[in-house]
């Protein structure tokens, strides 16, 4: 799951990254949002 591609829409611009990149720093906002235990992630 750490190699899952994530697309972030920031101000109308789409950025693609890996979940492992976002969770590399678990104490950050994005690290918290994208950790495996987060129940608020919308899968589309």
Pairwise pLDDT comparison (42 vs 34), residue with the higher score = 34
- Listing DSSP states for the chain in one string gives -TT-EEEEEETTEEEEEEHHHHTSSTTSHHHHHTSTT-TTPPP-
Does 28 fall in a domain? yes
Structural domain count of the chain: 1
Q: What is the pLDDT of residue 18?
A: 94
pLDDT at 42 over 80: no
Q: Is residue 43 part of a domain?
A: no
15 φ, ψ to 5°? -120, 135
| 44 inside domain | no
* Tens digit of each residue's pLDDT (9 = 90 or more) over 2-34: 688 999 999 999 999 999 999 999 899 988 888
Domain that includes residue 12, residue range: 1-38
Residue 30 lies in a domain: yes
37 — pLDDT class (breaks 50, 70, 90):
low
Q: Per-residue confidence at 1, pLDDT binned at 50, 70, 90?
A: low
In a domain, 6, yes or no: yes
For 11: left if phi > 0, alpha if psi spans -120 to 50, otherwise beta; the answer is left
């Amino acid at each position: 799951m750490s190699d899952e591609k994530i697309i972030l829409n920031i101000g109308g611009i789409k950025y693609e990254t890996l979940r492992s990149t976002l969770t590399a720093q678990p104490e950050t906002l994005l690290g918290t949002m994208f950790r495996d235990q987060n129940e608020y992630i919308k899968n589309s």
